[in-house]
RNA sequence: GGGUCGUUAACUCAGAGGUAGAGUGCUUCCUUGACGCGGAAGAAGCCACAAGUUCGAAUCUUGUACGACCCACCA
């Protein structure tokens, strides 16, 4: 293949789409179906159907894709199931917005037409996010793509609902729930976000019936007093003991309500007397149950006041508050107003302040479900990575409350319950009923509500595999291997999948949960629409390519921790991709007469053995890091290996052997090593940067159909020759020292220098003699001499001191005495500090007694070496100073 | 009120019981036959503070301070 058509700047656009299409068309994303191999399966956290890919998805799916690609190369029978979520409230809200633009509301259309409209919307935008996932390079099995409202998933939802209902784990009733006045629906506890805000504490006097006395209550929400049906005090509170059992007359309303005692009341807070509004406060609701209080609901679903609010009916809740306060003040009931900070609940979706209200809703009884879900995790059947998330999960599960699952929406899974209009029978069944089983009436009306979106998400790991049918996929891929997701949905999703999986299938849905952090903006803030600080991953892909986006998001990232998105880092990664590209170009350009050969070890040079050793160390390290989900560290090591070791050292050392080979054979050897190392490196890098690695792979001689299905590089311990690696490192140190001298004395690289290496150890001298060419080539040395010791230290020379050798560079006429003296003095200072440290240790008896032998030996060696260097330095200094 | 995470070079972050690393930025040099989206050399850190464990702590323990986030029904 000719190299002229490879541009010197890597262009991801010309590469990525091409290979993705190729992979997909060849069905490489599908499982191998080789059941003799262990399976490795992941279900993708389903993004919202009508949503757009954001950086959070990009990170999440990159992590999954890395794991799947890596396991696939390892030979596992891998399955990654993609899909989308119907996202009840979110999707419905968007369609309502679009209707609003036409001046319509969903009520204008009616339920059926509206739902049809949402389906249309889904058909229109449903592909967008999956296309975007493809652009990222996600190797998920599109032939198994699912949607939470498709037939199969809906079937699973129905089955689970009926199961739970039949077991008595789903019930319907009037309870206090969180109501969003804007979304017009109940929401669950975790969909409420609490935010501190500055408010007031109004102290209101409630006149005691048939008395001149008042009870003063304090409230943050005075408008709710219209629904008060009692006043609570602490049973042991002497201030109020005489009033227990009496009544107060509710101001503005005139209702006679009881004063009662309840341990819930905190004597220290406020006045020690609490107005009780069972219909609009969760604690009051509980007290209402304990004391059999009347419930008076005073608000409508839009949070305006209803007819129970008397003259305030029709007012918005906050207008009503102002009015009530004004009236209380006017009538002398308002005692005082305090500044007060408290937490207000907001709707996660629309940020509206949530109103606690009593309402008829469906609930899942959580305690029985939570218990085994806690057990399985404690028993280690499910492992959280990082481990610290285990406790977060357990704590939440232990304190879980019943889950309100009904939503007053139209878009979602409709609750499979019918009410007989004639006899009132409630029918919950797997099949749509045609007649009432009790009275045979056909007058059946289905429940109007739909289920919380998370109800169907909770079934995702098995509903996508065909459950409740006993499908082949269920048999082969369930339980799944790992769930990868953001730490923000541990409660919403992870926890619910765990208890649902255990309850419905009898098995945990996955064995490991890999939790990652959030993507923040460059200032460390959450990305949000309102801040306008979001970065569109598609922009990044368009400008820099998917490989760059993937790699830049994960490098140097600690598991579970948040990541800041920075364009600097993206550019750096782009440069890295370019570096890889050009390294590959270099290799390919020099492979025109390549032929694969078997190379006996003795034909490998020191550099060859070094790079093979380093490569194999990387294979072991990276495999191990991936095993532990430390993908960021794995990526970092790839980067260092490729850039520093392969490019800056190995390729540089290979050049002379390619351009001016001593013999044809050595040229063939270096060609083989270059190809081989590049090939293996591309395989190691492939899970991280799938596109560029496939592109390069396809140019490399001896490539197969696709890098995707190549075997993951095997660690060969015999390739790691530590003594060779150390030798190479000594030579590298010598080269660096010589380059340093060059730089310090401004010797242009055009001028060749002479170097003398003095080493008392014969082996070291031999090493430098044998590999003198490395030094000559990389440090531009024309003449290299090795001596046992300098009879006389040359005066017209600068020196560099290595561990086992001294290097002299004669620089007659060029030498700057002052500069050399200050160089030497700086070195001396460092060495003295070094000696002080090592001596302190070696003079410490407990160190000698307790430290491991190898550490002591290392310390001794260091001390000895430092002393030798110090002597040499002093000698040199002497010479210069005496001149 | 509980809990988690963070505090390391100017910036953004890795790392880790045995003398501190990267990228960017900065300084100097280099159009050397892969790459200037490049190469070479360099400056730059008491690893937040305090006590403890240890032969040895930036790393482990416990506190403190500051920051971020999560959970929580004090009206």
Q: For residues A819 and A482, give the distance between their C-alpha atoms in angstroms, rounded to a whole number.
A: 61
Q: Which of A222, A334, A333, A202 is nearest to A277 (CA)?
A: A222
Distance CA A543 to C1' B7 in A? 34
State which residue has its Cα closest to the C1' atom of B19. Answer: A834
pLDDT in tens, A146-203: 999 999 999 999 999 999 999 999 999 999 999 999 999 999 999 999 888 888 899 9
Joined tokens for residue A702: 């001896």
Contact A31, A111 (CB under 8 A): no
- Give residue A523's pLDDT: 86
pLDDT in tens, A811-845: 776 667 777 777 788 788 888 888 888 888 888 88
Q: What's the average model confidence in pLDDT over A582-588?
A: 96
Contact A205, A336 (CB under 8 A): no
pLDDT in tens, A53-81: 899 999 999 999 999 999 999 999 999 99
Is the CB of A583 within 7 Å of strand B?
Answer: yes
Contact A436, A420 (CB under 8 A): yes
pLDDT in tens, A96-154: 999 999 999 999 999 999 999 999 999 988 889 999 999 999 999 999 999 999 999 99
pLDDT in tens, A839-869: 888 888 899 999 999 899 988 988 888 888 8
Q: For residues A507 and A449, give the distance between their C-alpha atoms in angstroms, rounded to a whole number.
A: 30
The nucleotide whose C1' lies nearest the CA of A565 is B12
Q: Write down which residues 220-259 in A have CB closer than 7 A to strand B.
A: 220-221
CA angle A559, A561, A565 (to 5 degrees): 110
pLDDT in tens, A545-576: 999 999 999 998 899 999 999 999 999 999 99
- Give residue A468's pLDDT: 95
pLDDT in tens, A226-250: 999 999 999 988 899 999 999 999 9
Residues 6 or more apart whose Cβ sits within 8 Å of residue A839: A863
Distance CA A621 to C1' B15 in A? 15
Contact A807, A756 (CB under 8 A): yes
Distance CA A389 to C1' B3 in A? 11
Q: For residues A415 and A503, give the distance between their C-alpha atoms in angstroms, rounded to a whole number.
A: 20
Is the CB of A267 within 7 Å of strand B?
Answer: yes
The nucleotide whose C1' lies nearest the CA of A8 is B35
- DSSP letter (8 states) at residue A307: G
Is the CB of A643 within 7 Å of strand B?
Answer: yes
Write down the residue that tokens 């599109």 correspond to: A142
Question: How many Cα atoms are found within 13 Å in the side-chain-facing hemisphere of A482?
Answer: 23
What are the E-state strand segments in A462-521?
480-486, 510-516, 519-520
Question: How many Cα atoms are found within 13 Å in the side-chain-facing hemisphere of A827?
Answer: 23
Give the pairing of strands A563-564 and A519-520.
Answer: parallel
Joined tokens for residue A215: 């009870």
Distance CA A543 to C1' B36 in A? 20
Percent of chain A topping pLDDT 90: 74
Joined tokens for residue A348: 């996660």
State which residue has its Cα closest to the C1' atom of B6. Answer: A561
| Complex-level ipTM | 0.96
Contact A464, A83 (CB under 8 A): yes
Joined tokens for residue A63: 């992590």
Is the CB of A205 within 7 Å of strand B?
Answer: no
Indicate the helix (H) or strand (E) that contains A356.
strand A355-364
State which residue has its Cα closest to the C1' atom of B14. Answer: A556
Given a cut of 90, whether residue A747 has pLDDT beyond it is no
Distance CA A85 to C1' B48 in A? 45
Q: Write down which residues 545-564 in A have CB closer than 7 A to strand B.
A: 556-558, 561, 563-564
Distance CA A545 to C1' B5 in A? 32
Q: For residues A361 and A405, give the distance between their C-alpha atoms in angstroms, rounded to a whole number.
A: 8
Q: For residues A353 and A223, give the distance between their C-alpha atoms in angstroms, rounded to a whole number.
A: 15
Give A173: exposed, middle or buried? Use CB within 10 Å, 0-12, 13-18, 19+: exposed
Is the CB of A345 within 7 Å of strand B?
Answer: no
Joined tokens for residue A879: 């010479």
Contact A412, A450 (CB under 8 A): yes
Rg (CA), chain A: 37
Is the CB of A855 within 7 Å of strand B?
Answer: yes
DSSP for A64-101, written as a single string: HHHHHHHHHHTT-EEEEE-EEB--HHHHHHHHHHHHHH
Is the CB of A575 within 7 Å of strand B?
Answer: yes
Residues 6 or more apart whose Cβ sits within 8 Å of residue A640: none
- Give residue A269's pLDDT: 85
- Give residue A164's pLDDT: 96
- Give residue A714's pLDDT: 96
Is the CB of A36 within 7 Å of strand B?
Answer: no
Characterize A347-369 residue by residue with b for buried, 16 or more Cβ atoms within 10 angstroms of its Cβ, and e for exposed.
bbbeeebbbbbbbebbbbebeeb
């Amino acid at each position: 293949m000719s190299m002229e058509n490879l541009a010197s700047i890597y262009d991801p656009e010309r590469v990525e789409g091409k290979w993705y299409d190729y992979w997909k068309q060849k069905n490489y994303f599908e499982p191998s179906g080789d059941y003799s191999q262990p399976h490795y399966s992941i279900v993708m956290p389903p993004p919202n159907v009508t949503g757009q890919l954001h950086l959070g998805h990009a990170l999440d799916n990159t992590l999954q894709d890395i794991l799947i690609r890596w396991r696939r190369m390892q030979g596992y029978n891998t399955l990654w199931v993609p899909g989308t979520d119907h996202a009840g409230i979110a999707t419905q809200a968007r369609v309502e917005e679009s209707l609003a633009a036409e001046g319509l509301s969903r009520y204008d259309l009616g339920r059926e037409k509206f739902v049809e409209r949402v389906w249309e919307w889904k058909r229109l935008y449903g592909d967008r996010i999956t296309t975007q996932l493809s652009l990222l390079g996600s190797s998920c099995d599109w032939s198994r793509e699912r949607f939470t409202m498709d037939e199969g998933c809906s079937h699973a939802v129905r089955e689970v609902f009926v199961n739970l209902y039949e077991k008595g784990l789903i019930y319907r009733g009037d309870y206090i729930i969180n109501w969003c006045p804007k979304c017009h629906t109940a929401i669950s506890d975790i969909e409420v976000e609490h935010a501190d805000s500055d408010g007031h504490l109004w102290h209101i006097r409630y006149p005691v019936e048939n008395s001149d006395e008042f009870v003063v209550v304090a409230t943050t929400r005075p408008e709710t007093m219209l629904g008060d049906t009692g006043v609570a005090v602490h049973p042991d509170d002497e201030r109020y003991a005489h009033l227990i059992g009496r009544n107060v007359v509710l101001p503005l309303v005139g209702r006679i309500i009881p004063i009662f005692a309840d341990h819930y009341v905190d004597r220290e807070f406020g006045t020690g007397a609490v107005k009780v509004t069972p219909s609009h406060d969760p604690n009051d609701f509980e007290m209402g149950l304990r004391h059999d209080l009347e419930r008076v609901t005073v608000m409508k679903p839009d949070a305006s006041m209803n007819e129970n609010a008397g003259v305030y009916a029709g007012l918005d809740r906050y207008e009503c508050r102002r009015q009530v306060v004004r009236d209380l003040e006017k009538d002398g009931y308002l005692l005082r107003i305090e500044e007060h900070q408290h937490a207000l609940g907001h709707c996660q979706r629309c940020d509206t302040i949530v109103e606690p209200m009593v309402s008829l809703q469906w609930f899942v009884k959580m305690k029985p479900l939570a218990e085994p879900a806690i057990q399985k995790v404690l028993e280690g059947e499910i492992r959280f990575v990082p481990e610290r998330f285990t406790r977060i999960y357990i704590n939440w599960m232990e304190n879980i409350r019943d889950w309100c699952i009904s939503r007053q929406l139209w878009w979602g899974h409709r609750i499979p319950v019918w009410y007989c209009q004639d006899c009132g029978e409630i029918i919950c069944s797997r099949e749509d009923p045609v007649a009432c089983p009790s009275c045979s009436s056909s007058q059946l009306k289905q429940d109007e509500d739909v289920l919380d979106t998370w109800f169907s998400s909770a079934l995702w790991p098995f509903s996508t595999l065909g459950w409740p049918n006993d499908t082949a996929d269920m048999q082969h891929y369930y339980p799944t291997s790992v769930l990868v997701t953001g730490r923000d949905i541990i409660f919403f999703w992870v926890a619910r999948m765990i208890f649902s999986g255990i309850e419905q299938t009898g098995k945990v849905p996955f064995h490991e949960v890999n939790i990652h952090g959030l993507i923040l903006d460059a200032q460390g803030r959450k990305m949000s629409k309102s801040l306008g600080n979001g970065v569109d991953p598609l922009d990044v892909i368009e400008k820099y390519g998917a490989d760059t986006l993937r790699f830049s998001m994960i490098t140097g990232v600690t598991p579970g921790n948040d990541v800041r998105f920075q364009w600097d880092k993206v550019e750096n990664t782009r440069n890295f991709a370019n570096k890889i590209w050009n390294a590959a170009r270099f290799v390919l350009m020099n492979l025109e007469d390549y032929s694969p050969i078997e190379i006996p070890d003795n034909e490998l040079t020191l550099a060859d053995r070094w790079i093979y050793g380093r490569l194999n160390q990387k294979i072991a390290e990276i495999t191990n890091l991936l095993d532990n989900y430390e993908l960021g560290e794995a990526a970092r090591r790839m980067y260092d290996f490729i850039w520093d070791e392969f490019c800056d050292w190995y390729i540089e050392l290979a050049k002379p052997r390619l351009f001016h080979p001593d013999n044809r054979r050595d040229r063939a050897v270096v060609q083989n090593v270059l190809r081989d190392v590049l090939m293996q490196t591309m395989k190691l890098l492939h899970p991280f940067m799938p596109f560029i690695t496939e592109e390069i792979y396809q140019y490399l001689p001896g490539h197969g159909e696709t890098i995707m299905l190549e075997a993951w590089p095997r660690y060969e311990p015999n390739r790691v020759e530590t003594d060779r690696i150390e030798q190479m490192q000594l030579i590298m140190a010598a080269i660096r020292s010589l380059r340093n001298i060059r730089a310090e004395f401004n010797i242009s690289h055009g001028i060749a220098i002479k170097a003398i290496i003095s080493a008392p150890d014969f082996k070291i001298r031999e090493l430098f003699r044998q590999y003198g060419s490395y030094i000559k080539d990389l440090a531009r040395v024309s003449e290299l001499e090795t001596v046992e010791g300098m009879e006389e230290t040359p005066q017209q020379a600068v020196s560099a001191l290595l561990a086992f050798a001294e290097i002299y560079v004669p620089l007659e006429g060029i030498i700057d005495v002052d500069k050399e003296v200050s160089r030497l003095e700086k070195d001396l200072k460092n060495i003295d500090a070094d000696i002080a440290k090592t001596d302190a240790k070696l003079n410490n008896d407990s160190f000698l007694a307790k430290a491991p032998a190898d550490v002591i030996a290392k310390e001794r060696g260091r001390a000895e070496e430092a002393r030798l260097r110090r002597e040499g330095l002093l000698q040199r200094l002497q010479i210069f100073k005496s001149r």
